[in-house]
Amino acid sequence: MPAQVISGTEIAKQIREELKEEIAGLKEQHNLVPGLVTVLVGEDPASQVYVGAKEKTSKALGLYSERHDLAADTSEEALLALISRLNNDPKIHGILVQLPLPKHINETRVLYAIDPRKDVDGFHPVNLGKLMIGEPDYLPCTPHGIQQLLVRSGIEIEGAEVVVVGRSNIVGKPIANILLQKKEGANATVTVCHTRTRDISAHTRRADIIIVAAGRPKAITADMVKEGVVVIDVGVNRIGKTAEGKSILVGDVDFEAVKEKARAITPVPGGVGPMTITMLMLNTVKAAKLAAGLI
């Protein structure tokens, strides 16, 4: 039987409705407006689209939103000075520096400079360390979105064999840590595969849940999965343009073939993508509540 297609668009919409209500309540009861700032260095077209979407969603939900677009040749010192100013601005509860940064800027140094209390991306080593010991303040947005997709689709994670393909700091490593936690919506047995894994198929074929962030179209094909698997596709690959000049996007999974064997699968677009921004909004609301002593 063909798989249930998990709609990230629909689940993200549900969570945004919940957040919108919570944000209105914070304003009414505490005169608190969560504030998010996005910082974009350079003119990478994909990053411009992402930052634009983050700004639009912030405004739609009733957040205070600020955007800083800096020239591609901005110095690291100037960027660090801006972050320092934003760290000390009480209107701002969340700071998002869009990655990747231009080559002349040291990404690690920039991520370290963000006050961990305002690190709504969850990329600061303090926040990643807290996740590692099971005491997270902010979960990284894409992995958190993946967990919510699974939980809200009624997929049993506890005790499941989860295989993650890809070991990036943004997706692979944090999703492995999240699903490993001794908590509800986690408690899985997690394996992480990567470019030096000897036989990826041997792992994916025994998985109950596969999470793919490999950055390559058709990294997962039908012969690599078992009947009844749940597949979460994090890939965003631009493989060409339509006649109207729009990018054609595909994920990392051979969707049409794998869907015939899977119990549930996420599409690209409309799967993980819409969840990332939604989780950023959720972290910003949490940051504001933490700053105001409400939690």
Cβ-Cβ contacts under 8 Å for 93 (sequence gap 6 or more): 34, 35, 36, 118, 120, 284, 287, 288, 291
**Identity of the amino acid at 145:** G
Candidates 57, 74, 98, 181; binder of ligand GUN (CB under 6 A) is 98
Q: Of 140 and 217, which has the nearer Cβ to ligand GUN?
A: 140
Backbone phi, then psi, for 82, in 5-degree steps? -65, -45
Active-site residue flag, 89: no
Among 58, 127, 142, 148, binds ligand GUN (CB under 6 A): 142
Cα-flanking dihedrals φ and ψ of residue 70, to 5°?
-110, 150
Beta carbon of residue 100, minimum distance to ligand GUN (angstroms, whole number): 7
Q: Is 213 in the site for ligand GUN (CB under 6 A)?
A: no
Residue whose CB is less far from ligand GUN, 99 or 249: 99
d(CA 125, CA 108): 9
- Residues ≥6 apart with Cβ < 8 Å to 233: 212, 220, 251, 252, 253, 255, 265, 266, 267, 268, 271, 272
Q: Which is nearer to ligand GUN, 219 or 272 (CB)?
A: 272
Distance CA(83)–CA(63), nearest Å, equals 20
Residue from 33, 99, 200, 249 binding ligand GUN (CB under 6 A): 99
Q: Is 283 in the site for ligand GUN (CB under 6 A)?
A: no
Is residue 130 among the annotated active site residues? no
- Is 65 an interacting residue with respect to ligand GUN (CB under 6 A)? no
70 binds ligand GUN (CB under 6 A): no
Contact 226, 219 (CB under 8 A): no
Identify which range of 93-101, 129-137, 237-245, 281-289 contacts ligand GUN by CB under 6 A: 93-101
Q: How far is the CB of 39 from ligand GUN (least distance, A)?
A: 9
Determine phi and psi for 146, rounding to 5 degrees: -65, -45
- Considering the rule CB under 6 A, would residue 141 count as an interface residue with ligand GUN? yes
Q: How far is CA 261 from CA 4, 112, 155, in A?
A: 11, 43, 16
- Indicate if 98 belongs to the active site: yes
Instruction: Find the binding residues for ligand GUN in span 116-135 (CB under 6 A).
Output: 121
Residues taking part in catalysis: 54, 98, 121
Positions touching ligand GUN (CB under 6 A) are 96-99, 121, 141-142, 170, 276
